[in-house]
């Protein structure tokens, strides 16, 4: 059966006749491809072939059949957005902590391998019925060089999960763009709704300011250098309502962690490895 749409084709649930195991078949559309094999698909396949981690979806094999190419991926029953929209389902504090830990472990692994995901959002975070979380959909992912910052596009990452520096036109970036998205997803796990829901780039920044306050140059020295800063700079100065508005959902250590992931200045933003070492995971119950 068809279970969803990927970046470049439908995704089906299928059963392997020999082993009896379920898999997901991601079909790569080839009709109408004048330029041969789609480069985004190629990129995803190349990346996934080299990845092996419990929190990253596994590419089992490639399959060609009747002119279509399929990625055979391990089958995951759910995605996070779907689960959070179920009124009947509530995650316990322990569930939420486990899911956050798994998400950050997957990201830490990718970043160690020099890979930016660049499309972190609820629908790309898959869960199986054992409660295992895996990062999926590497259609926008890139290899980055830790020493040499490359120039990338800033039109990545679904708007609601896109970091302020990308919204202000930054094209030289690293893993910190994924960390902002992780902070958004962490808050979504607690509140069940995406936290910053903008309609376009300008409104997205406004939405962020309404909760985190407006960024100050003292906190973010390179703010003025961003390409679109003059176009999108805030009209009025606002202070942060972050702790007041989220305190009823998040414990003190969870607030500290979320704040660290949502630092305006990308240089000061927590890394995935750093986030795993915070009090939220190491000291605070559950």
Catalytic positions:
119
157, 105 contact by CB (below 8 A):
no
Binning the chain into helix, strand and coil, the percentages to the nearest 5 are: 35, 15, 45
C-alpha 254 chain-centroid distance: 18
Question: How far, CA to CA in Å, does 264 sit from each of 180, 222, 240, 268?
Answer: 9, 11, 12, 8
- Torsion-angle region of residue 169: left (phi > 0), alpha (psi -120 to 50) or beta? left
Question: How far, CA to CA in Å, does 21 sit from each of 14, 18, 34, 74, 128?
Answer: 8, 8, 35, 9, 14
Distance in angstroms (rounded) separating the CA atoms of residues 184 and 268 = 17
């Amino acid at each position: 059966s068809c279970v969803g749409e990927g970046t470049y084709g439908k995704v089906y649930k299928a059963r392997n006749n020999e082993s009896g195991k379920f898999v997901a078949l991601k079909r790569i559309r080839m009709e109408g491809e004048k330029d041969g094999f789609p480069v985004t698909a190629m990129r995803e396949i190349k990346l996934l072939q080299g990845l092996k981690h419990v929190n990253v979806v596994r590419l089992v094999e490639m399959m060609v059949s009747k002119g279509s190419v399929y990625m055979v991926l391990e089958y995951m029953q759910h995605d996070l957005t779907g689960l959070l929209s179920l009124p009947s389902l509530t995650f316990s504090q322990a569930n939420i902590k486990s899911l956050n830990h798994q998400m950050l472990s997957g990201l830490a692994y990718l970043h160690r391998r020099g890979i930016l995901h660049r499309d972190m959002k609820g629908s790309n975070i898959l869960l199986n019925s054992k409660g295992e979380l895996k990062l999926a959909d590497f259609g926008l992912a890139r290899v980055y060089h830790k020493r040499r910052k490359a120039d990338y596009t800033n039109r990545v990452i679904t708007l609601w999960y896109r970091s302020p520096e990308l919204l202000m036109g930054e094209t030289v970036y690293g893993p910190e763009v994924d960390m902002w998205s992780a902070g958004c997803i962490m808050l979504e796990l607690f509140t069940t709704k995406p936290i910053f829901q903008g309609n376009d780039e300008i409104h997205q920044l406004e939405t962020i300011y309404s909760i985190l306050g407006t960024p100050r140059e003292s906190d973010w020295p390179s703010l003025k250098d961003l390409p679109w800063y003059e176009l999108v700079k805030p009209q009025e100065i606002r202070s942060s309502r972050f702790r007041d508005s989220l305190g009823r959902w998040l414990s003190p250590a969870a607030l500290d962690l979320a704040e660290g992931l949502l630092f305006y200045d990308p240089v000061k933003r927590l890394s995935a490895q750093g986030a795993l070492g915070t009090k939220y995971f190491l000291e605070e119950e559950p």
